[in-house]
């Protein structure tokens, strides 16, 4: 699956909104993961500099065909996981972080691992600090700021 690296949030936000409405109507799960890759991008002069096109292709190639990865700004990658409860999203998130760490090993990290922050929200699930709807609102806000 080839994905676009142009940080255009609007189509992604629309897709998340559609999946959220579908999940609410049919009482099914949907999850959203956002990875902040700005720490990796800060090493742009290193031999392991992040190529966002390749990174997004790596993520797309290692997720299900129904999942929808997208670049949502110049340093964040999001994955929409339809019909996926929070526990499944946690597993997928850990797997993607490990893939990224293998592809872009840390160059100056003290403990040998690069910290890749991720945020996650699921519907219906109150375990997270934020809901999918709140994350969707923030993504919409980042679109208007671009």
Specify if 145 maps to a domain.
no
pTM of the predicted model, to two decimals? Answer: 0.80
- Could you give phi then psi for residue 94, rounded to 5 degrees? -65, -40
- The domain total for the chain is 1
Specify if 76 maps to a domain.
yes
| Domain carrying residue 103 | 9-140
State the CATH number of the domain containing residue 25.
Answer: 3.30.70.270
- Residue written as token pair 């997720």: 63
| Tens-place pLDDT, residues 91-127 | 999 999 998 888 877 665 545 456 788 899 998 876 6
Specify if 1 maps to a domain.
no
Q: Which residues pair with 34 in a beta bridge?
A: 78, 119
Specify if 4 maps to a domain.
no
Q: Residues with Cβ < 8 Å from 89, sequence gap 6 or more?
A: 31, 32, 33, 81, 120, 122
């Amino acid at each position: 699956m080839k994905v676009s690296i142009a940080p255009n949030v609007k189509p992604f936000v629309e897709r998340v909104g559609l999946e959220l409405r579908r999940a609410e109507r049919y009482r099914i799960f949907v999850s959203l993961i956002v990875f902040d890759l700005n720490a990796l991008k800060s090493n742009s002069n290193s031999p392991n500099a992040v190529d966002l096109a390749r990174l997004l292709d790596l993520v797309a190639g290692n997720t299900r065909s129904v999942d929808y990865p997208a670049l949502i700004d110049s340093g964040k990658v999001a994955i929409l996981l339809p019909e996926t409860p929070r526990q499944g999203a946690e597993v997928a998130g850990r797997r993607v972080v490990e893939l990224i760490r293998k592809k872009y090993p840390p160059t100056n990290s003290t403990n040998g691992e690069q910290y890749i922050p991720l945020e996650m929200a699921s519907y219906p699930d109150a375990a997270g600090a934020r809901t999918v709807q709140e994350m969707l609102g923030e993504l919409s806000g980042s679109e208007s700021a671009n």
